[in-house]
Amino acid sequence: MSDYTVIGKRTAMVDGPGKVTGLGKYTDDLVLPGMLVGKILRSPHPHARILRIETEQARAVPGVKAVLTGQDVSTQYGILPVGRDETVLAVGRVRYVGEGVAAVAATSEKAAFEALQRIQVYYEPLPAFFDARASMQSQDLLIQEDCPRNVKKEYHHHFGNVDEGFARAHVIRQEHFYCAQVTHAAMEPHSTLAKFEDGRLTVWSSTQTPHYLHRTLSSVLKLPMSQIRVIKPLVGGAFGGKDEPLPPEIIAAGLALHAGQPVKITCSREEVFYLHRGRPATHIDMKIGVTQDGKITAVEQTAIQDGGAFCSYGVVTILYSGALLAALYDIENIKYDVYRVLTNKPPSGAMRGHGTVNTRYAFETVLEMLAEEIGMDPAEMRLRNTLRPNTRTVNDLRVTSYGFPECIRKVVEASGWKGKWGKLPRGRGIGIGASHYVSGAGNSIIRADLPHSTVILKVDMDGGVTIFSGTSEIGQGSDTMLVQIVAETLGLPIEKIRIVSADSDLTPVDLGSYSSRVTFMAGNAALRAAQEVKAQLLKAAANELKAQPDQLELKDEAIFVKDDPSRNISYQGAVPLALALSGGTLIGKGSYAPPPEARGGKFKGAGVGPSPAYSYSAQVAEVSVDMETGQVKVEDIWVAHDCGRALNPLTVEGQIEGSVSMGLGQVLQEETLLKNGLVMNPGLLEYKTPGSLDSPRIHSFIVESVDPEGPFGAKECGEGSLGAVIPAVTNAIHDATGAWIRELPVTPEKILKALAEKEGRRWPR
- Does one domain contain both 569 and 630? no
463 and 585 share a domain? Answer: yes
* 412 and 556 in a common domain: no
Confidence of residue 187 (pLDDT cuts 50, 70, 90): very high
Does the N-terminal peptide bond of residue 745 adopt cis geometry, omega within 30 degrees of 0? Answer: yes
C-alpha 295: how far from chain center: 32
Same domain, 84 and 203: yes
Which whole number is the average pLDDT over 608-617? 97
- Looking at residue 548, its pLDDT comes to 95
| Phi, psi of 162, rounded to the nearest 5 degrees | -65, -40
Domain count, the chain: 3
Picking from 528, 557, 592, the residue at the C-terminal end of a domain is 592
Give the pLDDT confidence of 524-564 residue by residue, as tens digits. Answer: 999 999 999 999 999 999 999 999 999 999 999 999 999 99
Mean pLDDT of 511-534: 97
Contacts of 576 (CB under 8 A, 6+ apart): 461
Q: Are residues 616 and 501 in the same domain?
A: no
pLDDT for the residue 2: 61
Q: What is the pLDDT of residues 306-322, one digit of tens each?
A: 999 999 999 999 999 99
| Distance in angstroms (rounded) separating the CA atoms of residues 147 and 188 | 35
Same domain, 269 and 395: no
Whether 85 is covered by a domain: the verdict is yes
> Do 562 and 642 belong to one domain?
no
Residue 299 clears pLDDT 60, i.e. is over it = yes
Amino acid residing at 81: P
The 3-state secondary structure of 672-735 reads CCEECCEECCCCCCCCCCCCHHHCCEEEEEEECCCCCCCHHHECCCCCCCHHHHHHHHHHHHHH
Distance CA(66)–CA(628), nearest Å, equals: 60
- Averaged over 357-380, what is the pLDDT? 98
Residue-level pLDDT at 188: 97
Is the four-CA dihedral 705, 518, 598, 243 of positive or negative sign?
A: positive
750 and 724 in a single domain? The answer is yes
- Stated length of the chain: 765
pLDDT of residue 447: 74
Pair 687, 569 in one domain: no
551 shares its domain with 640 = no
Is there a domain that residue 156 lies in? no
Taking only the tens place, the pLDDT of each residue in 75-88 is 999 999 999 999 99
Average confidence (pLDDT) over 598-619: 95
pLDDT band at 1 (very low <50, low <70, confident <90, very high): very low
Element (H, E) at 156: strand 151-159
The reply to whether 641 falls in a domain is: yes
**Domain boundary residue among 275, 298, 323?**
275
- Whether the pLDDT of residue 3 is over 90: the answer is no
Whether residue 255 lies inside any domain: the answer is yes
CATH of the domain at 535: 3.30.365.10
Predicted confidence (pLDDT) per residue in 141-161, tens digit: 999 999 999 999 999 999 999
Please indicate, yes or no, whether residues 423 and 488 belong to a single structural domain of this protein.
no
For the chain, first and last CA: distance in Å? Answer: 60
Q: Is the pLDDT of residue 445 over 90?
A: no
What string of DSSP letters covers 616-660?
EEEEEEEEEE-TTT--EEEEEEEEEEE-BS-S-HHHHHHHHHHHH
Residue 60: domain span: 31-126+187-237+242-275
Is 282 in contact with 305 (CB distance < 8 Å)? yes
Provide, rounded to the nearest whole percent, the portion of the chain with pLDDT above 90.
Answer: 96
Give the mean pLDDT of 5-24: 95
| Residue percentage of the chain with pLDDT more than 70 | 100
Any domain includes 306:
no
Q: Is the dihedral of CA 14, 15, 19, 22 positive or negative?
A: positive
Give the Cα separation of 185 and 166 in Å (integer): 41
Give kind and range of the element (H or E) at residue 417: helix 417-420
Residue 586 and residue 460 in one domain: yes
CATH number at residue 114: 3.90.1170.50
pLDDT tens column, 194-240:
999 999 999 999 999 999 999 999 999 999 999 999 999 999 999 99
Q: From CA 330, how far away is CA 158, in angstroms rounded?
A: 16
Count of H-run helices and E-run strands, the chain: 19, 31
What was the pLDDT predicted at 765? Answer: 62
Using DSSP bridges, classify how beta strands 191-197 and 200-205 pair: parallel, antiparallel or unpaired: antiparallel
Contacts of 248 (CB under 8 A, 6+ apart): 38, 40, 190, 192, 265, 267, 271, 275
Q: What is d(CA 247, CA 102) in angstroms, rounded to the nearest whole number? A: 11
pLDDT digits over 673-693, tens only?
A: 999 999 999 999 999 999 988
Domain-embedded: residue 647: yes
Per DSSP, 45 falls in state -
735, part of any domain: yes
Final residue of a domain: which of 563, 592, 621?
Answer: 592
Residue 154 lies in a domain: no
Euclidean distance between CA atoms 287 and 362, whole angstroms: 9
Report d(CA 573, CA 570) in Å as an integer.
5
Distance of CA 284 to the CA centre of its chain: 21
